[in-house]
């Protein structure tokens, strides 16, 4: 996939899926703006990008703060002049809890990051894409955007909403040459899910058994889908929610 001359904007790029996606955009030839609340992790990602010959702009910001997102997007435009591809990916999860025990504040925090964070990024990115005559956005949803799990109410609600947001925005912006899609991972081995794996071979095996493909998803598996969704190879996908879960949601 050739994205030379393009600029990509990736949130949650200090680790996990976001870092893999930022590095994949760099390998495809794009300049990459990377955003996260974790400055140290962002530095590491920027270092790897530069070692690999890509241009990187680090943006320390919280996506649940609209003004901070606007500043980050403005800094990207100031540095690279454009945003062609955006991967709105940063997200959080809360410890499993029955619905009745989940505080309104905990619920709101998950919605603030996972839903409003994605909305704020799109609101800030879209005018620049429109002005440039087009662009592509990929939002990270999840299989939790169409399935549900016990004790995961806030996350499931937020990811269902990300799919709704993606589809609604795709309808509005398709005629303006802006393709908006979502990627829906199942279970990916990242810092977010480390607690299920580390020092827990039985837990790892249990997760493995839920994947017909016979291995657990790595961040690069999702990053490849994201870069493909941002390339002309996926030119007819609009408002699609691409499930990349190794068969996790088949049973
Ligand atoms: N790992 C999985 O199994 C899995 C499955 C489906 C979907 N997802 C989704 O993929 C996305 C990335 O998850 P991951 O597994 O790479 O997680 P991760 O925890 O490894 O990475 C998430 C990154 O987002 C950053 N972040 C969190 N809140 C932020 C905020 N308010 N502002 C800016 N940055 C913030 C974190 O610092 C972190 O670097 C999330 O949206 C997650 O819900 C993950």
pLDDT at 52 exceeding the cut of 90: yes
Confidence of residue 196 (pLDDT cuts 50, 70, 90): confident
Would residue 249 count as lying in a domain? no
Centre of ligand 1 from the C-alpha of residue 241, in Å: 18
pLDDT of amino acid 13: 98
Percent of the chain with pLDDT over 90: 94
- Confidence bin at 1 (pLDDT 50/70/90): confident
pLDDT of residue 198: 84
Model confidence at 118, pLDDT cuts 50, 70, 90, reads: very high
Enumerate residues 6+ apart whose C-beta is below 8 A from 108: none
* Structure confidence at residue 54 (pLDDT): 98
CATH of the domain at 40: 3.40.50.720
Best probe residue, ligand 1, of 21, 64, 90, 138 (max atoms within 8 Å of C-beta):
90
**133 in any annotated domain:** yes
Predicted confidence band of residue 170 (pLDDT cuts 50, 70, 90):
very high
Return the pLDDT at 195.
85
User: Do residues 19 and 218 lie in contact, with contact meaning Cβ atoms separated by under 8 Å?
Assistant: no
- Whether the pLDDT of residue 247 is over 90: the answer is yes
In a domain, 58, yes or no: yes
Q: How far apart are CA 209 and CA 193, in angstroms?
A: 16
Q: What mean pLDDT is reported for the chain? A: 97
Per the domain annotation, does 1 fall within a domain? no
Query: Range of 232's domain?
Result: 7-190+218-244
pTM beyond 0.85: the answer is yes
Note the Cα 59 to chain centre separation in Å. 16
Give CA angle at 197 (249, 60), nearest 5°. Answer: 90
Number of the ligand 1 atom closest to the C-alpha atom of 189: 1
Looking from the CA of residue 20, the nearest atom of ligand 1 is 16
| Domain count across the chain | 1
120 has catalytic annotation: no
Q: Has residue 199 been placed in a domain?
A: no
Q: How far is the CA of 12 from the centre of ligand 1 (A)?
A: 6
């Amino acid at each position: 996939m050739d994205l030379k001359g393009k600029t990509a904007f990736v949130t949650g790029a200090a680790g996990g899926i976001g870092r893999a996606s930022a590095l994949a955009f760099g390998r495809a030839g794009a300049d990459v703006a990377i955003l996260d609340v974790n400055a140290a992790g962002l530095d590491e990602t920027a270092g790897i990008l530069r070692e690999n010959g890509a241009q990187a702009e680090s943006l320390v910001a919280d996506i649940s703060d609209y003004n901070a997102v606007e500043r980050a997007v403005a800094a990207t435009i100031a540095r690279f002049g454009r945003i062609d591809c955006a991967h709105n990916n940063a997200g959080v999860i809360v410890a499993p809890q029955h619905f009745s025990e989940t505080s309104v504040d905990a619920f709101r925090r998950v919605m603030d990051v996972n839903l409003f964070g994605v909305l704020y990024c799109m609101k800030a990115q879209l005018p620049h894409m429109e002005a440039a005559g087009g662009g592509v956005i990929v939002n990270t949803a999840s299989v939790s955007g169409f399935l549900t799990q016990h004790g995961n109410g806030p996350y499931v609600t937020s990811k269902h909403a990300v799919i709704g947001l993606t589809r609604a925005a795709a309808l509005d912006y398709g005629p303006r040459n802006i393709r908006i899609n979502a990627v829906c991972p199942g279970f990916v081995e990242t810092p977010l899910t480390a607690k299920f794996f580390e020092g827990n071979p039985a837990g790892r095996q249990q997760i493995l058994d839920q994947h017909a493909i016979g291995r657990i998803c790595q961040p690069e598996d999702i990053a490849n889908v994201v870069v493909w969704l941002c390339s002309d190879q996926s030119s007819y996908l609009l408002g699609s929610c691409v499930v990349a879960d190794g068969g996790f949601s088949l049973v």
